[in-house]
Amino acid sequence: MRVALVGLGAIGLGAHLPALLRHPSVDVVQLVDPDPVRREAAAGHGIRSAADLDPGGVDGVVLATPPWVTPELVVRYAEAGLFVLAEKPVATSVEAARIYDRLDPEQRRRVQIGLTYRHDPAIRQLKTWIDDGTLGTPVLVRAHIYDEAYSPARREHAYLITRTLEHGSPVVHEGAHVFDWLSHLLGGPPERVYDAWSQRTRPDLPAANLTGARLSYPGGHQALVEFGWFTAALPRCELTFLGDRGLATLDGFTFALRLGTADGEREVRFPGDRTTRCFDLQVRRFVELYDGTRKAGVPSLDDGIAALRTAQLVAGRAG
């Protein structure tokens, strides 16, 4: 599979490219970014780089681009007949995501969304514990998603996060992952957002950097979610799943699991680090989409839009 990587920032060069290079059936033939400095930083890989993609020489494209750029590119390349793996979120708003209505069913089928950590075996294990009654039912989920610590010494990082906040609060960006996980684990999208809140820790920030909400899911499951960026110190990043029979805890950075029941407590760890594990599985499924082993992208474009819809609903309720 001849693949081009579009977007040569930290996630592109640090996670997508290594995973593409590790897969034996992938040939990375183009590195694309409009920024000449980023193209120069990627020159050591010995792969042709350019400011624009030449779609004639590739079978698929990986978009490691900002969400305010991604929708137009997904549509352009899907309409050109390419397979597309696009970073989350699929857009910065449901309104911006309406551009995807231009895609016909066959074009949509060839789009896979980079909700990367859905691929982790920890998510599969959690789903087993929920579905087989290990935790009891219903479950109460608490998701504390805190990332992107602020440091005045990290000027480039501060600029990147500030610019991202101009296009929405962390619930839009981190919520893409979390709301996808919860819909996958709890049997479907939320039935109701009961309430939500938001807070800016500094008045100069372009959007609230702390947001939370309470949601209900099919089967009586409930979720309390918090998202936060850009404070000098961060609370613990983890998700807990509590039922009358057990408590499962997912470490938000390593994806190590703990399970506590009446029989005691045990820990479940998976080989390798989370990033390598998940990006490798993501590329494997992208290749399977290309070779016909998979009939549609997993997660799909519809999955990405559904997660964005929930995140936007929470953001709107939070004010």
Q: Which residues contact 258 (CB under 8 A, 6 or more apart)?
A: 247, 248, 249, 265, 266, 267, 268
Q: Do 304 and 94 touch, CB atoms closer than 8 A? A: no
Contacts of 233 (CB under 8 A, 6+ apart): 149
Residue-by-residue pLDDT tens, the chain, 319 positions: 999 999 999 999 999 999 999 999 999 999 999 999 999 999 988 999 999 999 989 999 999 999 999 999 999 999 999 999 999 999 999 999 999 999 999 999 999 999 999 999 999 999 999 999 999 999 999 999 999 999 999 998 999 899 999 988 999 989 989 999 999 999 999 999 999 999 999 999 999 999 999 999 999 999 999 999 999 999 999 999 999 999 999 999 999 999 999 999 999 999 999 999 999 999 999 999 999 999 999 999 999 999 999 999 999 999 8
Q: Are 189 and 306 in contact (CB under 8 A)?
A: yes
In this prediction the pTM is 0.93
